[in-house]
Structure 1
Amino acid sequence: MTGGRPGTDHEGMDNGGYTVTGLRISDAEREPAIESLKEAYAEGRLDHEEFDMRMHLAMTAKTHSELAAVVADLGRPVPQYASKEVVAGAADGEDRMLAALAHGSGMVPVIIPPLAIMLLSGRRSQYVRRHAAEALNFQLTLLLVTIVTFGLGGVVYAVAWIAALVGAVVALTGQDFRYPWILRAIK
């Protein structure tokens, strides 16, 4: 290792001096690998037992290198993450604020704000689009529950603002947020 100083480029290292393959992964970073495994299974390149084993390994992988090993022989490029900023989507303050606004609009059950944010700012920023789509799916799910239960599901709105507030705070921190138990009709 020449130099040995953070900030210099070495094989397997980013500019901060940390190995990229040793960084811990998030659930969002597992999704491309899981999709690759599903496609390989559907194409018949993996049998059922190997598919189950690899899915387990992908779901329990803690680092990029562990995840890369699960899909390395499938003939598809392994997603590379240069740094934490690339992984997080490098959302700036405006993106984080718009994403938080999309979630925060769930405090008042109206689907128009997250839809407008997704359509107007979603093209400029994938971060804003992901959050606005998640907020829109959340509100559509609440609306569907209310309609199907002939209005009785409206009680859910009373506590839904808590989930919307949590989503807004997480969006402000620059991280991804997913509501549990919702229909994801819009991606």
Structure 2
Amino acid sequence: MRVSDAERDAVVRRLQDAYAEGRLDHDEFDMRTHLAMTSKTRDDLAAVTRDLEPVRGRAGSALELAEPTGEDRMLAAAAHAVAVPTLFVGPLVLMLVSGKRSEFIRRQAREAVNLQLTLLLVTIVTFGVGGALYAVTWILSAVAAVFALAGQGFRYPWILRLVK
């Protein structure tokens, strides 16, 4: 049976999680991503992730299989937007409260928390000079909020993923 773009995207997200966990090196991640994006059938697609163990706590989970609802998308967008005035506190509260019912909200709030913690560490290490990066993060937070409203995940580049 032929695969859809949504099925390919789900496999790429699983590969990204495996890469973030260190189960794939960069070259293998690139190769498998290419294979996933060019797969025509479900058998071809299944072969890309066959040797990977299920992602911790999420394999077969109804939370991951369900499309994010309008409320989920709004709360995920709020997690990115509320990070601008509250730093990591607002997204952390959303992650702990609303993340229990929706994996989408939890992932997006976790990204916002990790971005803010990374910026805080950079600012401390550079004795305040890194604080100039906060202006850039306002733009990134707005972009991430738009992605979340559309029901798509967003991963900030070049951040430390301290909160799992």
TM-score band w.r.t. shorter chain:
0.7 to 0.9
Q: Which moved more, 1:24-33 or 1:103-112?
A: 24-33
Relative to 1, partners in 2 of residues 1:54 and 1:65: Cα closer, same or farther, differing over 3 Å?
farther
Matched, 1:23 2:4: yes
* Native 8 Å contact 1:107 1:165 kept in 2: no
**Runs of 4 or more consecutive aligned structure 1 residues displaced over 6 Å after TM superposition:** none
Partner-residue secondary structure (3-state), 1:183: coil
User: What is the TM-score normalised by the length of structure 1?
Assistant: 0.67
* Native 8 Å contact 1:57 1:70 kept in 2: no
Q: Which ranges in structure 2 are unaligned for 5 or more consecutive residues?
A: none
Provide the aligned length of Structure 1 versus Structure 2.
150
Relative to 1, partners in 2 of residues 1:160 and 1:67: Cα closer, same or farther, differing over 3 Å?
same
Which residue of structure 1 aligns with residue 115 of structure 2?
138
Which residue of structure 2 aligns with residue 16 of structure 1?
none
In the TM superposition, 1:34-183 aligns within 5 A as 38=23, 55-61=29-35, 62=37, 63=39, 65-72=43-50, 74=51, 89-108=66-85, 110-183=87-160
Higher Cα Rg, which structure: 1
* Native 8 Å contact 1:30 1:67 kept in 2: no
Partner-residue secondary structure (3-state), 2:163: coil
Report sequence identity in percent. Answer: 45
* Native 8 Å contact 1:58 1:67 kept in 2: no
User: What is the TM-score normalised by the length of structure 2?
Assistant: 0.76
In the TM superposition, 1:5-20 aligns within 5 A as 12=1, 19=2
